[in-house]
Amino acid sequence: MSASTASPDQTPDDGVVVPRRGGTTWRRLKRNRLSVAGLIVLAIVVLLALLAPVLPLIDPAATNPANRLQPIGSEGHLLGTDHLGRDLLSRLIWGGRTSLSVGVFATLIAASIGSLIGLIAGFFGGATDNSLMRGIDVLMAFPYLLLAIALVAVLGPGLVNAMIAISIVNIPFFARAVRGTTVSLVASEYVDAARALAFSRLRILFREVLPNVMPTIIITMSTTVGWMITETAGLSFLGLGAQPPTSDWGAMLGAGREFITRAPHVMIVPGSAIFLVVISLNFLGDGLRDALDPRLK
């Protein structure tokens, strides 16, 4: 496999040593208007999701079949109702809780496991490196979504299983990127210096190397989290993710598909939400990358 593969949206630069700039990062980020807009949108969405239990929302599970498929702006239902007469606004916010937390959890899982593999492979090199990265190559040999689907086939459909599947398929992106950075760090002088001070290898790995790898991890997280939200929603859309009565944005979209001629808003509402969140994440991710690593601009 090519050494230059990275996350879906990343330039082919393994092994970038990223200098740490601390406070300047935020200043750089603030200059990028789209990133700031993305940040604001995300803040609002996250806030709504967090506050769902205390907001004056209609019970998202309360059905009212006689009042089904009401259009956007109908009385008492700002975004209308779905095929069982459930309030779409309420379902959107509660579903967002599910979608966002699943996306973030998947990212954290993929980032921790993937980064650990990358660190170990890059730091110890040799046979360890070889065997770990061959394993990663095998994961990369499957088309992205297809591996997730195969994993769901084994684990069985369900939101947690979909999340696990999506994390596993994203591990390689972290492993590759982190290994690249680690390798160049290990070769650098100050790790030599640390070695000269006879620090233990673990101490060097976690105290010296890890902090310097963090920007790479953060950049990779910011470029993959949007994908993970989209793909878990996609699995739910296909009926392989969230199972009723749990409902995330993907499942709402899948249900809305049955009504695209009669009530397209049932599909448009959750789809717009996914789009808005993902594009905000991408704007923010871009800004973050430029701020952390101006060389790539």
Site residues (vs another protein, CB under 8 A): 1-2, 4-5, 8-9, 11-12, 34, 61-63, 65-66, 68-69, 83-85, 134-135, 137-138, 141-146, 148-150, 152-154, 156-157, 226, 230, 233-234, 237-240, 243-245, 253, 257-264, 267-268, 271, 274-275, 278-279, 281-283, 286, 296
Burial of residue 175 (CB within 10 Å: 0-12, 13-18, 19+) is buried
CA 196 from chain centre, in angstroms, equals 39
SS3 state at 272: helix
Task: Give ∠ CA 133-139-143 in degrees, rounded to 5.
Answer: 140
Q: Taking a C-beta distance cutoff of 8 angstroms, is the pair 82, 31 a contact?
A: no
Could you tell me which residues come within 8 angstroms of residue 59 by beta carbon, excluding any fewer than 6 positions away? Answer: 87, 90
Q: How far is the CB of 133 from another protein (least distance, A)?
A: 11
Given the complex with another protein, which of 56 and 245 has the nearer CB atom? 245
Q: How far is the CB of 2 from another protein (least distance, A)?
A: 4
Q: How far is the CB of 172 from another protein (least distance, A)?
A: 11
Given the complex with another protein, which of 28 and 68 has the nearer CB atom? 68
Strands (E), 168-237: none
Q: How far is the CB of 110 from another protein (least distance, A)?
A: 16
* C-alpha–C-alpha distance, residues 261 and 203, integer Å: 61
Q: How far is the CB of 78 from another protein (least distance, A)?
A: 21
Q: How far is the CB of 152 from another protein (least distance, A)?
A: 7
* C-alpha–C-alpha distance, residues 63 and 107, integer Å: 34
How many Cβ atoms from other residues are within 10 Å of residue 181's Cβ? 29
Cα torsion angle, 238, 38, 50, 91, sign: negative
Q: How far is the CB of 89 from another protein (least distance, A)?
A: 18
Given the complex with another protein, which of 167 and 212 has the nearer CB atom? 167
* C-alpha–C-alpha distance, residues 60 and 95, integer Å: 9
**Residue whose structure tokens are 């006879």:** 198
Q: How far is the CB of 218 from another protein (least distance, A)?
A: 19
Given the complex with another protein, which of 183 and 240 has the nearer CB atom? 240
Given the complex with another protein, which of 34 and 194 has the nearer CB atom? 34
Which one, of 53, 87, 39, lies nearest residue 277 by Cα?
A: 39
Q: Taking a C-beta distance cutoff of 8 angstroms, is the pair 184, 15 a contact?
A: yes
Given the complex with another protein, which of 111 and 233 has the nearer CB atom? 233
Given the complex with another protein, which of 212 and 224 has the nearer CB atom? 224
Given the complex with another protein, which of 125 and 194 has the nearer CB atom? 125
